[in-house]
């Protein structure tokens, strides 16, 4: 599955069900360029999860809603609830670990 461009208009609908990983990024950001291919590869492997990207330059209001101060920032939702948010590029294995944790998480408890 490829990544979805997340905007102010489609954000709420995209995050309401299942697991959603969001990469907040910008084209000029070196660490974003390093993390981007890792994020894209994970989207190809985990086709049961939605992967979205927020361009912080183009979606300034949405980035402000999240309180983004540093990019890239990874945000994870499960069934409409934000369960993870942390800035910084992460290695492939750490992303896989976070995905597995999100799959096990019960947000309805």
Q: Give the model's pLDDT for residue 26.
A: 97
Which domains are present in the chain?
4-103 (3.40.30.10)
> Which residue in 19, 22, 32, 89 is the catalytic one?
32
Please confirm, yes or no, whether 29 is among the known catalytic residues: yes
In SS3 terms, the chain reads as CCCEECCCCCHHHHHCCCEEEEEEECCCCHHHHHHHHHHHHHHHHCCCCEEEEEECCCCHHHHHHHCCCCCCEEEEEECCEEEEEEECCCCHHHHHHHHHHHHHCCCCC
Q: Give the model's pLDDT for residue 95.
A: 98
Q: Give the model's pLDDT for residue 88.
A: 95
Please confirm, yes or no, whether 28 is among the known catalytic residues: no
Q: Give the model's pLDDT for residue 1.
A: 56
Residue with tokens 């890792």: 38
Mean pLDDT by 10 residues, the chain (109 residues): 90 96 97 96 96 97 95 97 96 97 86
> Which residue in 29, 71, 74, 95 is the catalytic one?
29
């Amino acid at each position: 599955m490829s990544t979805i461009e997340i905007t102010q208009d489609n954000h709420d609908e995209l995050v309401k069900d299942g697991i959603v990983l969001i990469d907040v990024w910008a084209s000029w950001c070196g660490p974003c360029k390093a993390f981007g291919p890792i994020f894209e590869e994970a989207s190809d492997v985990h086709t049961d999860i939605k992967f979205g990207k927020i361009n912080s330059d183009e979606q300034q209001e949405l980035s402000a809603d999240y309180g983004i101060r540093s990019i890239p920032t990874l945000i994870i939702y499960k069934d409409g609830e934000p369960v993870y948010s942390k800035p910084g590029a992460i290695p492939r294995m750490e992303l896989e670990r976070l995905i597995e944790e999100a799959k096990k998480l019960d947000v309805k408890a």
